[in-house]
Amino acid sequence: CLCWCSCPPDSQPWERIISAGYDDQIRFWSVPDGALLKAQSAVSQTVTCLAAAPVAAQYFSGGDTGRICAWKLPAHFSPAPQKSHESAIHSVEFSPDGRFLASGSLGSGITFRDTENGSSISQIQQPNTAICWSPRGDRIAAACTDGYL
């Protein structure tokens, strides 16, 4: 999986591409030259999805253990991962304003979290393989396992 990170408006300009996969590593790449800047452990799980915050220097990863990790940039530090789902997380997506994070899985549906304190806000019991927010942030779409959105 991949995501594109940009610096928050009040910091030095930088851009990174973050990649992760089945080797339990998260890698940070320079946008201008494609150089590998850093590789680090993904906290003992295969990373299945990544999402960069639209307004802050952080990103979230979801994995095959059902845990979500919140990472701070540029230090690449994650506090203790939070168990969010009973099965692998297939997608994580920020709301356009960055206030909320939605995560989706086949086993436990969609969970909505407050990105400031990490608390779970609500859950929709609909197994899914992908989710995305509307541009205004007032709706979310989910690709469901029964073939419907």
Q: Return the H-helix or E-strand segment holding 44.
A: none
Smallest CA-to-CA distance from 31 within 55, 10, 53, 13 is with: 13
- Would you state the pLDDT for residue 52? 87
Alpha-carbon gap, residue 98 to 67, rounded angstroms: 20
Q: Dihedral sign, CA of 62, 88, 94, 21?
A: positive
Q: pTM, whole model, 2 decimals? A: 0.79
Q: Which residues of the chain have pLDDT under 70?
A: 7-13, 44, 56, 74-86
Tokens representing 5 are: 């990170």
Residue 74: is the preceding peptide bond cis (ω within 30°)? Answer: yes
